């Protein structure tokens, strides 16, 4: 993936995060590499337990990586000390999945946003801070009259807007969106997705969009990486991935999406079993025991991600 | 690239859709809890009794002359049965039980409150440290806590008071220390829960410092169970104070502490049972009132937590 | 001819069902005057957003509406018997024998201290006159039926994964061969590939046993996959009901249209999402007129004064929208073949 360096805002190299558990090492993120260009969106898709959430947290160093590099505009942020990291935090922000637990229940909208603006010295002076808070609220579509409301008085959509405003308060270049709409109803979900898209266009933001919902990521991302048990098994530009899914897991995922249209019977790949444990994985294809190919090669070693056509990467020995 | 002066044409969520729905009326948590509490009859009775006791305790000095009415000896009037002049009767030294019981509220309330504050202060700090910073600090604090709670509290009280002398302050200190383990445990548990909430992580991501997070976000969100616990602890502190005084280890005589009054009346329990009934009732009513209020507070706060 | 008749007899008929939750502070109108029918062997899908009253409707069918809920209805008839007149004893038999429910969260629907075999056997023992041994044997059969090896009957719920737990819950629900199965968001807590497995299983069991089913979901994709008929709910009312083809391809209600427009279309990724502006009204403070009017693009003054009357577009397709009183009114969503 030889890209002009100046085009790349974030590059992740062989990132690993292992947790110690009583039953052994849990390989939550196990050698993930990708890069994102300015103003683009990388979608990360996978089922629960595949490590996508840990990946998002690790990129912000909310969870310290076990090994690997995270290059933000060419600078490796895994090596920064706390104080320098605090400065970098302004550039990378995160939007959380659950708008009900990601806000302090004791803070009003105004308190929550003021604190972020004030502590990070984005603005100074009472009036300027207040103006900034109002401006942020306007940016994310929250009416001024709600400024003194508490989170529990608001619905999920509005709460998620506060979460977005909080992320924007730092004037970031890059936002990790961790399932930002999966806790919301469809009509509200569309409002938030449109808002995120408009923000990207006007502010030139880059996103990592983590989700389990393929329909959403298809709509939203430029490039999609499919994760399975801590590793990327397939990565391709969105249209390419949906048109020519190569990895058997991707194929099964795509065929399993319920489509809200009456279609002629569509072939559905039903996988056996469920995701296995990410604790002490063996050196073999992690998808092997659910795969419909049942080949011998992948019992011996874990296939590596390789480029099979321009920009289309797959980790499967059958391809 | 900056977001200055950018206004997105946000979807018209917030405008032109009629009046604001009712739930946008501003409600602080405090108000909600008070509203819930006011619907609980038991808690309101408890609160009323507590207010009355506290008022009596505060103005006891104004109402009565300590030397004459409370400890003054009037042998001629000894062991009188309850009458209009002496509603609760008089004791073997002719002191009016009614006045002594009223005056005794000073000791019980102040020992209960101060002891609880001592326990609360030490317990919350230790509990917060143990809950927020795992590892060695937590291990040391929690093991120390286990040892402390393994000693029966009355025994601990006896040891402290007899070692340091039977003064009112030592009594408060002894009872306060025995209540530390409970506060450590409850604070640690709620800090642990709050610490793992997503909003704490969100605050980290927003560049807020650790100290600020603990002081302004973690602790305020742990307050509710601690307040409930404190209210209930006052009740048990009052019982503990009376027990120690009953054993002669509390507020020194001739102060009319309810426990020591019980102790004095013990020898007349067959002939002049009113000497023990009324101080006993005073303890019962006060403890019941604090328990009612504590239970009411817990019920008022809980539904909010579940939300 | 006999069989033909039974095919068209409704196994479940609800007329004018309302559920209110009355507290000191407010009255929440969770379900407002809804009526629907379910015929034998058919699957009816309830679709709508959180708070639309889908789950409350299902609970009312089982008479499980929690306090302080008040249920009122002209008729709730299941298998020819009026549910609201049942005694406690009858109800116990009715739940399980005639109707069973699968809940959303398989993680909490099972008792952690009993083995899965015991839990299935328990529900059999409660409803059938069999010995414990026979019930256990039946339980093992049920496990096999939902694709779990019978040997795992002695395991506890925590030893199962989410998808497996939901299979166990389905086995418990089906153990007594109910006529009607209600599934309340049965796959929401599951991953996409597991969801596909569970839905396939449910479809197969339904077809094998000619069961009737009510599927409650917010996912229109699942509705398209599994249902024959659809009822779209909004603020406690059914705003549009019809066969799957009628509702999906000949959509008539503006809210249904809005739902379709706010979904990212997987077949056309560049299509712009058109969200429904605003929020569902507070169910304790519903407007006099159409509850959707404040969010509706087509709303006129005629919408806000009274509840819209039902418009029949076919024997099965009904829409509650006042805009159809206007001559030549259509919504923007094109009809499909």
pLDDT digits 0-9 by tens, B165-218: 888 888 899 999 999 999 999 999 999 989 888 899 999 888 888 888 988 899
- Within an 8 Å CB–CB cutoff, is residue B10 touching chain A? yes
Q: How is residue A58 written in tokens?
A: 């690790």
Residues of A in contact with C162 (CB under 8 A): 274
Most C CBs within 10 A among B12, B13, B36, hence the mutation to make, goes to B13
Let me know whether A259 and A178 are in one domain. yes
Q: What is the pLDDT of residue B282?
A: 94
Cα angle: B189, vertex B192, B195; to 5 degrees:
150
User: What is the domain extent for residue A298?
Assistant: 8-91+172-314
Let me know whether A212 and A270 are in one domain. yes
Tell whether A285 is covered by a domain: yes
Residues of A in contact with C269 (CB under 8 A): 218-219, 238-239, 242
Most B CBs within 10 A among C275, C278, C288, hence the mutation to make, goes to C278
Tell whether C325 is covered by a domain: yes
Tell whether A237 is covered by a domain: yes
Instruction: Place B16 in a pLDDT band, splitting at 50, 70 and 90.
Output: very low
Minimal C-alpha gap between A80 and chain C (Å): 37
Q: What is the pLDDT of residue C15?
A: 93
Tell whether A3 is covered by a domain: no
Let me know whether A199 and A259 are in one domain. yes
- Within an 8 Å CB–CB cutoff, is residue B19 touching chain A? no
**Which residue positions in chain A have pLDDT lower than 70?**
1-6, 264
Phi-psi region of C101 (alpha: psi -120 to 50; beta: other; left: phi over 0): beta
Minimal C-alpha gap between A311 and chain B (Å): 28
Distance CA A219, CA A209 (A): 11
Let me know whether A150 and A188 are in one domain. no
Tell whether A29 is covered by a domain: yes
Residues of B in contact with A173 (CB under 8 A): 1
Q: What is the pLDDT of residue A271?
A: 82
- Domains with residue ranges and CATH for chain B: 1-31 (no CATH), 39-56+98-305 (1.10.3720.10)
From the CB of residue C20, how many other CB atoms can be counted at a distance below 10 Å? 20
- For residue range B233-266, what is the model confidence (pLDDT) as tens digits? 999 999 999 998 888 888 887 888 899 899 888 8
Q: What is the pLDDT of residue C259?
A: 92
CA A280 vs CA A47, A51, A223, A283, C194: distances in Å: 19, 14, 30, 9, 23
Let me know whether A179 and A269 are in one domain. yes
Is residue A296 within 8 Å of A218, Cβ to Cβ?
A: no
C164:A261 CB<8 A: no
List residues bridging with C216 in a β-sheet.
C46, C184
Instruction: Place B305 in a pLDDT band, splitting at 50, 70 and 90.
Output: very low
Let me know whether A308 and A216 are in one domain. yes
Q: What is the pLDDT of residue C194?
A: 85
Is residue C158 within 8 Å of C76, Cβ to Cβ?
A: no
Residues of C in contact with B23 (CB under 8 A): 282
Q: What is the pLDDT of residue B22?
A: 39
Distance CA C254, CA C297 (A): 8
pTM: 0.83
Minimal C-alpha gap between C9 and chain A (Å): 26
Tell whether C262 is covered by a domain: yes
Domain count within chain A: 2
Distance CA C293, CA C321 (A): 9
Domain count within chain C: 1
The mean pLDDT of B297-303, rounded to a whole number, is 76
SS3 C231: strand
- For residue range B49-104, what is the model confidence (pLDDT) as tens digits? 999 999 999 998 888 888 887 888 888 888 888 888 888 888 888 888 899 999 99
Domain end residue (candidates: A139, A171, A203): A171
- Within an 8 Å CB–CB cutoff, is residue C304 touching chain B? no
> What count of CB pairs under 8 Å joins A to B?
116
Which residue from A minimizes the CA distance to C194?
A274
Is residue B208 within 8 Å of A115, Cβ to Cβ?
A: yes
**Domain with A87 in it: what CATH number?**
3.40.50.300
Written as one string, the DSSP assignment of A100-142 is: TTSS-TT--HHHHHHHHHHHTTSS-SHHHHHHHHHHHHHHTT-
Q: What is the pLDDT of residue B29?
A: 67
CA C205 to chain centre: 17
Domain end residue (candidates: A120, A155, A171): A171
Most C CBs within 10 A among B21, B35, B39, B41, hence the mutation to make, goes to B21
- For residue range C94-136, what is the model confidence (pLDDT) as tens digits? 988 899 999 888 878 889 899 999 999 988 888 888 899 999 9
Tell whether C314 is covered by a domain: yes
- Would the pLDDT of C8 be above 80? no
Domain end residue (candidates: A171, A200, A227): A171
Residues of A in contact with B215 (CB under 8 A): none
Q: What is the pLDDT of residue B9?
A: 40
SS3 A45: strand
Let me know whether A187 and A80 are in one domain. yes
Let me know whether A157 and A44 are in one domain. no
CB-count burial class (<10 Å; 0-12, 13-18, 19+) for C302: middle
Helix B219-246 / helix B258-265 crossing angle, nearest 10 deg: 20
Let me know whether A151 and A177 are in one domain. no
Percent of chain C residues past pLDDT 90, beyond the cut: 44
User: What is the domain extent for residue C276?
Assistant: 252-337
Question: If you count them, how many residues does chain B have?
Answer: 307
Distance CA C73, CA C88 (A): 19
Distance CA C111, CA C89 (A): 23
Which residue from B minimizes the CA distance to A168?
B3
Is residue A140 within 8 Å of A195, Cβ to Cβ?
A: yes
B220:A191 CB<8 A: no
Which residue from C minimizes the CA distance to A192?
C275
Tell whether A12 is covered by a domain: yes
Q: What is the pLDDT of residue B71?
A: 81
Let me know whether A126 and A164 are in one domain. yes
Which residue from B minimizes the CA distance to A113?
B206
Residues of C in contact with B11 (CB under 8 A): 275, 277
Let me know whether A145 and A195 are in one domain. no
The mean pLDDT of C160-173, rounded to a whole number, is 87
A96:B198 CB<8 A: yes
Instruction: Place C21 in a pLDDT band, splitting at 50, 70 and 90.
Output: very high
C282:B39 CB<8 A: no
Tell whether C259 is covered by a domain: yes
- Would the pLDDT of B1 be above 60? no
Distance CA B143, CA B130 (A): 11
Tell whether C300 is covered by a domain: yes
Which of C15, C10, C47, C55 lies closest to C34, judged by CA? C15
Which of C151, C188, C144, C150 lies closest to C166, judged by CA? C188
- For residue range A60-70, what is the model confidence (pLDDT) as tens digits? 998 899 999 99
């Amino acid at each position: 993936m030889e890209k002009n360096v100046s085009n790349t805002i974030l590059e992740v190299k062989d990132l690993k995060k292992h947790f110690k558990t009583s039953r052994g090492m849990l390989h939550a993120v196990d050698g993930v590499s990708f890069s994102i260009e300015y103003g683009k969106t990388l979608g990360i898709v996978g089922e629960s337990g595949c490590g996508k959430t840990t990946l998002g947290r690790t990129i912000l160093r909310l969870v310290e990586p076990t090994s690997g590099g995270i290059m933000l505009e060419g600078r490796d942020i895994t090596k920064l000390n706390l104080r320098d990291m605090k400065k970098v935090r302004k550039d990378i922000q995160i939007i959380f999945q659950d708008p009900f637990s990601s806000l302090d229940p004791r803070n009003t909208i105004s308190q929550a946003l003021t604190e972020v603006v004030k502590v990070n010295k984005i603005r100074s002076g009472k009036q300027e801070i207040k103006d900034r808070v109002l401006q942020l609220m306007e940016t994310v579509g929250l009416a001024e009259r709600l400024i003194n409301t508490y989170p529990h008085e608001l619905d999920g959509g509005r709460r998620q807007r506060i979460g977005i405003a909080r992320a924007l308060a730092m004037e970031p270049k890059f936002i990790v969106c961790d399932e930002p709409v999966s806790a919301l109803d469809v009509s509200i979900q569309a409002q938030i997705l449109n808002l995120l898209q408009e923000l990207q266009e006007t502010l030139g933001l880059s996103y990592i969009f983590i989700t389990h919902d393929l329909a959403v990521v298809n709509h939203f991302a430029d490039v999609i990486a499919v994760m399975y048990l801590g590793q990327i098994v397939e990565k391709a530009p969105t249209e390419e991935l949906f048109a020519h899914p190569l990895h058997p897991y991707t194929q099964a995922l795509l065929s399993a999406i319920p489509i809200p249209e009456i279609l002629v019977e569509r072939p559905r790949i039903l996988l056996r079993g469920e995701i296995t444990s990410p604790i002490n994985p063996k050196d073999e294809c992690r998808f092997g025991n659910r795969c419909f190919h049942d080949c011998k090669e992948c019992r011996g070693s874990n296939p590596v991600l390789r480029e099979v056509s321009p920009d289309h990467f797959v980790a499967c020995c059958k391809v | 690239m900056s977001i200055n002066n950018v206004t997105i044409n946000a979807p018209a969520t917030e405008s032109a859709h009629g009046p604001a729905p009712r739930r946008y009326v501003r409600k602080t948590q405090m108000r909600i809890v008070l509203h819930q509490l006011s619907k609980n009859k038991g808690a309101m009775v408890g609160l009323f009794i507590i207010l009355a006791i506290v008022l009596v305790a505060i103005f006891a000095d104004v109402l009565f002359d300590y030397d004459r009415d409370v400890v003054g000896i009037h042998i001629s009037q000894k062991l009188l049965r309850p009458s209009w002049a002496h509603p609760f009767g008089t004791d073997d030294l002719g002191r009016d039980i009614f006045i002594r019981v009223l005056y005794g509220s000073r000791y019980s309330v102040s020992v209960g409150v101060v002891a609880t504050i001592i326990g609360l202060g030490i317990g919350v700090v230790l509990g917060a440290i143990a809950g927020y910073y795992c590892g060695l600090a937590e291990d040391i604090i929690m093991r120390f806590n286990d040892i402390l709670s393994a000693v029966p509290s009355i025994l601990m009280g006896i040891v402290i008071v007899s070692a340091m002398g039977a003064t009112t302050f030592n009594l408060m200190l002894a009872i306060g220390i025995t209540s530390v383990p409970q506060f450590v445990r409850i604070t640690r548990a709620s800090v642990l829960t709050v610490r793992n909430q997503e909003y704490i992580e969100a605050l980290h991501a927003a560049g807020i410092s650790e100290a600020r997070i603990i002081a302004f976000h973690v602790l305020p969100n742990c307050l509710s169970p601690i307040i409930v616990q404190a209210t209930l602890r006052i009740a048990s502190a009052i019982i503990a104070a009376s027990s120690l005084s009953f054993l002669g280890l509390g507020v020194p005589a001739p102060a009319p502490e309810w426990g020591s009054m019980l102790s004095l009346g013990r020898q007349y329990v067959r002939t002049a049972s009113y000497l023990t009934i009324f101080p006993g009732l005073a303890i019962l009513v006060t403890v019941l009132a604090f328990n009612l209020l504590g239970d009411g507070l817990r019920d008022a706060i809980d539904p909010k937590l579940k939300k | 001819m006999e069989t033909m008749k039974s095919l068209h007899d409704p196994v479940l008929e609800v007329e004018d069902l309302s559920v209110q939750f009355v507290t000191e502070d407010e009255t929440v109108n969770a379900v407002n005057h809804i009526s629907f029918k379910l015929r034998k062997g058919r699957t009816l899908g309830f679709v709508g957003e959180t708070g639309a009253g889908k789950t409350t409707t299902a609970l009312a069918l089982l008479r499980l509406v929690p306090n302080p809920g008040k249920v009122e209805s002209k008729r709730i008839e299941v298998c020819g018997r009026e549910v609201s007149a049942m005694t406690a004893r009858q109800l116990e038999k009715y739940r399980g024998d005639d109707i069973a429910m699968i809940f959303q969260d398989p993680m909490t629907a099972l008792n952690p201290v009993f083995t899965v075999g015991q839990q299935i056997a328990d529900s059999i023992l409660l409803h059938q006159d069999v010995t414990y041994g026979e019930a256990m044997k039946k339980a093992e059969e049920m496990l096999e039926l939902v694709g779990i090896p019978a040997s795992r009957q002695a395991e506890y719920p925590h030893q199962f994964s989410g998808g497996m737990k939901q299979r166990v819950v389905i086995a418990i629900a089906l153990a007594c061969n109910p006529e009607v199965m209600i599934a309340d968001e049965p796959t929401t807590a599951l991953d996409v590939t597991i969801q596909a497995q569970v839905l396939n299983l449910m479809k197969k069991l339904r077809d094998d046993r000619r069961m009737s089913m009510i599927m409650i979901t917010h996912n229109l994709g699942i509705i398209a996959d599994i249902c024959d008929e659809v009822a779209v709910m909004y603020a406690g009312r059914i705003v549009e009901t019809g066969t799957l083809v009628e509702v999906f391809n000949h959509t008539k209600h503006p809210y249904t249209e809005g739902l379709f427009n706010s979904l990212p279309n997987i077949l056309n990724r560049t299509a712009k999402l058109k969200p429904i502006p605003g929020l569902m009204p507070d169910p304790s403070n519903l407007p006099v007129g159409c509850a959707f009017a404040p969010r509706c693009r087509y709303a006129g003054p005629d919408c806000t004064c009274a509840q819209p009357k039902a418009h029949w577009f076919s024997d099965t397709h009904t829409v509650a929208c006042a805009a159809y009183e206007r001559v030549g009114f259509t919504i923007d969503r094109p009809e499909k073949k």
